[in-house]
A and B are shown apart, each in its own frame.
Chain A
């Protein structure tokens, strides 16, 4: 799958599931929730929308759904402009809000039937679909209970079912695993994986483990800006691609000796995270295997016990935190580097 690099034309392109161009949302002229956001999500991917609390993820989703109006910029879903009147856009989207709240006096079937009617689905199609959805999300057992009596996990499952009633091409799920127990979380992640075979899914979350398990692509938001947008493997490779971690055990003297030996090695640079854990970054032209072999030889020579070697490739959390850290450090240069309207580049949020 090719990742976007082309210039924005201001014309909607149906090849993207989601496309935004300089999307900006300022509340009451004071709080910048979304700041000049330009990114694209290809069709058919599971897109992890990462960011700390308050990064602007939920606001972006609400802008896409037309629940809020952008202060500036535009957004498209499957080439159709987003906005409060964009019924055709919302027909293509299944939305799961964070901690969904539904009419407590209705029963799950009744609520899903209501949602089906909002999608204008005829009764003969709607009702069998709802029955199979209730079975699929494991709510058949509580189908005759009022929604107010459902647990958090069951309510989320109902929200998941509601987002699927219209059989949408795009799912926007905001914190789908928030407040779920391990079994319910596993269920949600399996479902995302399953649904991702046929649909585009955007999962907004700050739980990195979820992203790591199910997403193929990732966008990282920080303070309203997209600081990275691309395949998840690329994010890991770019940020921590040539580093690994050693967990060690030894006397203080031996560890100090090892630190000196590693510092003298030209092929690597070291960072001691604590007295028994060191991050090794591979420098120059040597292969990772060669550098690792050199390092392990020094460990043996220093008489230090090696408890474990951990590659940096799987460490999404480190990559994510490094992205945030780098974004903080950029400070004013962010503004200077920001794309200008005359030559805009959606996807320039890519690291």
Chain B
């Protein structure tokens, strides 16, 4: 009974996944993400402790450049060109708009998570299991689950924001520009309102602390380690320098990743909730827009 009920959604998710992994965007992204993880491992092999290494591996997904790909995947899900074909071939069949929209979102979420897992997890396992010349600083199971869970939620939040804008604005590229316009200054905006722990950059800086946490760790140890922040900041500067070329004035330091001094701790539960709610909200609003749309 339930299987029959879910049959259309399953079929649509399979179709969307197949379409996604046949696209050059996802294939190139997957390849580039693996290469970048490899380079990160290579450059930090001898000095990055495991929690910081993990945070470095996650950096391209949370901060730059892979979040742009995640947004593109979201905005292109239900854009006007694609919708015409979907209306003729799929939505004229006995399925609800919720099933179609849910399948489109779910397929993209699976694709994003698959790329994330394939690019990050093997590298994390290699660096974790290998005998590296760095001081022992283990990642706890609890910390890994919570930390990576938060990253997954952030990725789903970004995807859902792109998804909403794609549905709302109908044009994938206009939607991308709007989301970038909203997303880029978000770190500054959140810091202004003393909500820095929700910003992707601050989250990335706090991840080493989360990775070290255990079930029994007292709340006081939510304090972010300034040394981790400094190392990650340096890593980010190096990374961004690769993208933008060497600085013209050597003494000038990039300010993009500068740590907010007022930001001291991270509460994973609060952060998780603050990203879960937007995911639900964005998807709900997407459905509302889609519900009223003429196809």
Contact = CB atoms under 8 A, between A and B. Distances in A.
Interface of A: 27, 62, 65, 67-69, 84-85, 87-88, 90-91, 93, 95, 97, 100-103, 105-106, 111, 114-115, 117-120, 122, 162, 166
Given A103-B19, A118-B8, A90 B93 contact: yes
Nearest to B100: A118
B84 interface: yes
Contacts of A162: 89
Contact of B85 (A101, A117, A119, A120): A101
A120 B291 contact: no
Given A67-B295, A68-B294, A69-B294, A120 B8 contact: yes
B4 A120 contact: yes
Contact of A84 (B4, B11, B22, B97): B97
B88 A101 contact: yes
Contacts, number: 78
A242 B109 CA distance: 68
Given A67-B92, A117-B7, 6 more contacts: A68-B294, A68-B295, A87-B96, A90-B94, A90-B95, A114-B15
Contact of A65 (B5, B15, B92, B291): B92
* Chain A CB within 10 Å, residue with most, of B10, B18, B295: B295
Nearest to A68: B294
Given A69-B292, A100-B88, A118-B11, A88 B19 contact: no
A84 B288 CA distance: 13
B145 interface: no
A127 to B, nearest CB: 14
B165 to A, nearest CB: 22
B87 A67 contact: yes
Contacts of A101: 84-85, 88-89
B281 interface: no
A48 B192 CA distance: 66
A152 B89 CA distance: 16
Interface in B87-115: 87-97
Nearest to B87: A67
Given A114-B11, A117-B7, A120-B8, A97 B96 contact: no
Contacts of A27: 294
Nearest to A95: B92
7 contacts: A95-B88, A95-B92, A95-B93, A101-B85, A102-B89, A118-B90, A119-B93
A171 to B, nearest CB: 12
Contacts of A115: 89, 93
B88 A118 contact: no
A350 B85 CA distance: 35
A27 B92 CA distance: 20
A111 B11 CA distance: 10
A67 to B, nearest CB: 4
A97 B85 CA distance: 10
Interface in B12-63: 12, 15, 18-19, 22
Contacts of A91: 94
Contact of B96 (A68, A69, A85, A119): A85
Given A105-B19, A105-B22, A122-B4, A87 B89 contact: no
Contacts of A105: 18-19, 22
Given A67-B295, A100-B88, A101-B88, A117 B11 contact: yes
A118 B94 CA distance: 6
B92 A97 contact: yes
Given A95-B92, A101-B84, A117-B10, A84 B291 contact: yes
A62 B295 contact: yes
Nearest to A86: B94
A93 B94 CA distance: 9
Given A68-B294, A117-B7, A87 B88 contact: no
A105 B18 CA distance: 9
Interface in B155-198: none
Contacts of B8: 117-118, 120
A311 B172 CA distance: 58
A122 B5 CA distance: 11
A165 to B, nearest CB: 9
Nearest to A122: B4
Interface in B71-87: 84-85, 87
Contacts of B84: 101
A140 B78 CA distance: 33
A248 B8 CA distance: 64
A37 to B, nearest CB: 17
A90 B88 CA distance: 12
